[in-house]
Structure 1
Amino acid sequence: MSRPGAVEASQPDAGVAAHYGDPLREQRLLAGGTAVVDLSHRGVVTVAGEDRLNLLNTLSSQLLLDLKPGQSRETLLLTLQGRIEYDARIIDDGDTSWLIVESFEAEGLAAWLTSMKFMMRVEAVDATDRWAVVGAAAAQPGFEGRLGWQDPWPEIGAGGYAYTGIDEPEHPGRDLTWFEYLVPADELEDTLAGRELAGVWAAEALRIAAWRPRFGLETDEKTIPHELDLLRTAVHLAKGCYKGQETVARVHNLGHPPRRLVFLQLDGSQHTLPDAGSEVRLGERTVGRVTSAAQHYEMGPVALAVVKRSVDPAAQLVVVDGDESYDASQETIVAPDAGKVVGRPTGLLRGPR
């Protein structure tokens, strides 16, 4: 926030810059790999001890026992009903597992992991005050010695499953490679000195265009992973038992997720954006809510929304935010018939590798 022109973002990104005076230029530079974004408001949880991967593997949706130093994965911690409680980006350095999370997750996650370790040799610590995160859309020169998490999205991980129903080479997430580097908080200013900076608005626009869900925005207290296509990167369908696994397996094998994530191309004639939480309507009926919206440097106003599974993928929708309304063309992210793979003809959705 000390850089000239910095304008502070609102929640959930308060504490860092939304932009530095020219959001679309910043977005172009970020997309091209020549700018970085200050994500120092992100939470960081460290899990040390020789039993750390065993504990994390036991509690979460991802297979982590084989995680090698420097490898990046995503994992979820679920409720008994299979609803997403925490979403963690994880990288291990050989001694410590580093979990990058949203700012509001860190304290509760560290406390919960501590409460669940029992006799395991593990120490979980909320290290948010000592570590900062820097985001980038390309590997950064000069960051070679820093621990950096690389987003696996949209690759279908081992044991994963895609709910999109499109040919994988067409997935727009393939246009974005995303890194989150860990930097000691007291070195952040020196680390960013001399580098082009982009605000979080730029990062959010690229994320939305890549169909990448974000915890706390695309999720609510009822969200299950299937609704957001998170089985592709954050769930291993063949691993052992963990809390919430029964719901994950039941919906995947025998049912359908009740809601689905969609991408919306918005009418830009108002020169404004709808707020998160704005209604998505089909005719006079409310069928969902906008979860994220941004101005993309090439596509104009775009959004992610979660809608009822029954919504016709070809239907023209309208987003309503108070007195403003926005015509919205939808692109299917999670297919309406996703799930219920038992008895499904092969080739319709991408299965586990």
Structure 2
Amino acid sequence: MTWAAIATSNGAPAVRAYDGDVSAPYRSPLLSFPDAVASGDADGPDQGIAWHYGDPVGEQRAAVRSAALFDRSHRGLIAVTGPDRLTWLNTLTSQLLTGLGEGASTEALVLSPNGHVEHHMGVTEIGEITYLDTEPTDTAGLLKYLTMMVFWSKVELTEPDLAQLRVIGPKTSEIVSATGLLDAPVDRAVPLGAGGFARPTAGGVDLFVPLIALANTAAALTAAGARAAGSWAADALRIESRTPRLGIDTDEKTIPNEVTWLAEAVHLNKGCYRGQETVARVNNLGRPPRKLVLLHLDGSADRLPAPGSTVTTAEGRVVGRIGTVAHHHEDGPIALAMIKRSLPAGTPLLADGVDAAVDPDDLVDETPSGPPQSALDRRTFTDIRRR
């Protein structure tokens, strides 16, 4: 099964109708940028884009102090058209979408009947098209599910030839304006003159540009002052903000209440949708079984924990799972981990054999016994693994 080309006559980007789930391995043109180093994981979620451009620490600092350009062109993008698109998507997802206005953007989930997260997507409504952007590893699965759920609804699923770039940092507006892509900061999604659209994101802007213009657009942004940044920098900043990625920081048991998606991708007062009962019950009780936390890792260790490996106590009891791992420009080695909520605050941990400690801001203690921990005590790091 393949994608079938469909011609357009209104100046919009060409689209390809979905007829299966096969896609060729992707290689971004930004890998030809100076000092680009591709991901070493051939089967990883960021295959096809740069891991870094020679200085991952400097790339992170650019996102904080000026502006960094992140290549997200490997992500999937699905366009949903037709008069029933919003009511149809509303019945299938965790988000209230029936009133999504022109230029609005949000996030949504598809849950299992038991409330476990199966798909996560960004949602943007512009020009009578609802765009769903997804993890590169989840696009085919989401398309397959949506295709099966069309039935008699008046909707059509296509894949636009648009690629995503993200610019983050305090100088984002100045730099993007200098390229002529946008005249002013955006607070809603707006069309781009050469095709595609822009939408606001935390600390910056997402640009969805025609795939054939991806390299030139990225070059214009870097010429205007944005610093090209790889997936290493993106991961480090994402860990800091506790933002999960589907399939990396989540597993088949994850429910929205355990991660930040409860606030960002779930509407607690909308009508019925698959998995709603679990979300509502746990939200009313206020105690999900696990919590996504930031782990500080022992910087003296000669390796980082592997994503998917276990988090254990000193006695060897498994209490969690490692997700994204990266070196942060200020905090050193850090990771996201899904940890049992019942874990007492301050428990010394091992992350795949590396000493670890939960960030004080993420501590959960159901039975507090003393003053709150206000700072991380790194002296505990070497106690466990040297026993």
Please indicate, yes or no, whether the TM-score normalized by the shorter chain is above 0.5. yes
Q: Which ranges of 4 or more aligned residues in structure 1 deviate by more than 3 Å? A: 329-337
Structure 2 unaligned regions, length at least 5: 1-30, 183-191, 367-387
Decide which structure has greater helix share.
2
**Which has the larger displacement, 191-200 or 271-280?**
271-280
Counterpart among 57, 60, 71 of residue 24 in structure 1? 57
Counterpart among 185, 188, 198 of residue 148 in structure 1? 198
Q: Alpha-carbon deviation of 1:123? A: 0.6
| Alpha-carbon separation, structure 1, partners of 2:340 and 2:244 | 17
| Alpha-carbon separation, structure 1, partners of 2:235 and 2:149 | 34
Partner SS, residue 65 of structure 1: coil
Preserved contact between residue 313 and residue 330 of structure 1 (Cα < 8 Å)? no
Identify the residue that residue 218 of structure 1 maps to in structure 2.
249
Cα deviation per residue 1:116-146 (whole Å; 9 max; x = unaligned)? 122222111234xx22111221443333235
| Alpha-carbon separation, structure 2, partners of 1:149 and 1:281 | 41
Q: Alpha-carbon deviation of 1:52? A: 0.9
Q: Which has the higher contact order (CA 8 A, sep 6+)?
A: 1
Cα 1:327–1:242 shift into 2, 3 Å: closer
Overall identity of the aligned pairs, in % = 43
| Alpha-carbon separation, structure 2, partners of 1:179 and 1:315 | 39
Counterpart among 345, 348, 352 of residue 320 in structure 1? 352
User: Does 2:72 match 1:78?
Assistant: no
Identify the residue that residue 343 of structure 2 maps to in structure 1.
311
Identify the residue that residue 186 of structure 1 maps to in structure 2.
212
| Alpha-carbon separation, structure 2, partners of 1:28 and 1:255 | 37
| Alpha-carbon separation, structure 2, partners of 1:29 and 1:271 | 27
| Alpha-carbon separation, structure 2, partners of 1:233 and 1:8 | 31
Counterpart among 324, 331, 336 of residue 360 in structure 2? 331
- Give the 5 Å matches for 1:168-317: 177-194=203-220, 195=222, 196-254=227-285, 256-270=287-301, 272-284=303-315, 285-317=317-349
Partner SS, residue 231 of structure 1: helix
Partner SS, residue 91 of structure 2: helix
Partner SS, residue 223 of structure 1: coil
Q: Alpha-carbon deviation of 1:181? A: 1.9
Give me the TM-score of the superposition, normalised by structure 1: 0.82
Preserved contact between residue 61 and residue 234 of structure 1 (Cα < 8 Å)? yes
Preserved contact between residue 60 and residue 243 of structure 1 (Cα < 8 Å)? yes
Cα 1:230–1:275 shift into 2, 3 Å: same
Q: Alpha-carbon deviation of 1:333? A: 3.8
Counterpart among 11, 30, 35 of residue 5 in structure 1? 35
| Alpha-carbon separation, structure 1, partners of 2:253 and 2:363 | 17
Q: Which amino acid aligns with 1:231?
A: L
Q: Alpha-carbon deviation of 1:334? A: 8.1
Partner SS, residue 346 of structure 2: coil
**Which has the larger displacement, 50-59 or 137-146?**
137-146
Q: Alpha-carbon deviation of 1:336? A: 5.9
Q: Alpha-carbon deviation of 1:150? A: 3.4
User: Does 2:144 match 1:111?
Assistant: yes
Preserved contact between residue 205 and residue 296 of structure 1 (Cα < 8 Å)? yes
Q: Which amino acid aligns with 2:75?
A: R
Q: CA RMSD in A?
A: 1.9
Partner SS, residue 261 of structure 2: coil
Give me the TM-score of the superposition, normalised by structure 2: 0.75
Q: Alpha-carbon deviation of 1:246? A: 1.2
Partner SS, residue 306 of structure 1: strand
**Which has the larger displacement, 132-141 or 47-56?**
132-141
Q: Which amino acid aligns with 1:61?
A: S
Q: Which amino acid aligns with 1:328?
A: A
Preserved contact between residue 59 and residue 77 of structure 1 (Cα < 8 Å)? yes
Structure 1 unaligned regions, length at least 5: 152-175, 338-353
Preserved contact between residue 261 and residue 334 of structure 1 (Cα < 8 Å)? no
Counterpart among 53, 58, 78 of residue 86 in structure 2? 53
Partner SS, residue 252 of structure 2: coil
| Alpha-carbon separation, structure 2, partners of 1:335 and 1:90 | 32
Q: Alpha-carbon deviation of 1:33? A: 4.2
Q: Which amino acid aligns with 1:190?
A: N
Counterpart among 108, 112, 126 of residue 93 in structure 1? 126
| Alpha-carbon separation, structure 1, partners of 2:57 and 2:280 | 42
Cα deviation per residue 1:256-280 (whole Å; 9 max; x = unaligned)? 3221111111121125322212321
Aligned residues between the structures: 308
Identify the residue that residue 161 of structure 1 maps to in structure 2.
none
Preserved contact between residue 293 and residue 358 of structure 2 (Cα < 8 Å)? no
